[in-house]
Amino acid sequence: MRRYYFYIMASRSRVLYAGVTNDLLRRVWQHKNKTAPGFASKYNVVRLVYYDETPNVAAAIAREKQVKGWRRSRKIALIESLNPEWRDLSDGWYEDGDSSLRSE
């Protein structure tokens, strides 16, 4: 069964980026390695601070639109409800010093 993810990435200064993907491991790696020019790369948005998953792509997209419509304070409250220290939830997902994805 396919899984879809709504996720929020943050920079050290807590600039936020929200997105949807069907491959969270790959998408976070892309953010961390700045493989695409744009907002996330420009503002060094490389820490995964929140995500949820669903088997329904429409639900993931709806969640993204919902959260993007919120005030910043509500987004922060969402993150801190599950990740009060703003830890990078992807720590340990990739091999140290290796730019490739770790095989599972």
The per-residue pLDDT for range 10-48, each reduced to its tens digit, is: 999 999 999 999 999 999 999 999 998 899 889 999 999
Which pTM was predicted? 0.89
* 86 Cβ contact list (under 8 Å, min separation 6): 10, 14, 47, 49, 79, 80
pLDDT of 91 > 70? The answer is yes
Find the mean pLDDT for residues 69-94: 96
pLDDT of the residue at 96: 61
In single-letter form, the type of residue at position 15 comes to V
Q: What is the mean pLDDT of the chain?
A: 91
71-85: buried (b, 16+ CB within 10 Å) or exposed (e) per residue? eeeebbebbeeebee
In single-letter form, the type of residue at position 64 comes to E
Sketch the domain layout of the chain as residue ranges.
4-82
- Of 3.40.50.970, 3.40.1440.10, 3.90.1150.10, 3.40.50.300, the CATH number of 4-82 is 3.40.1440.10
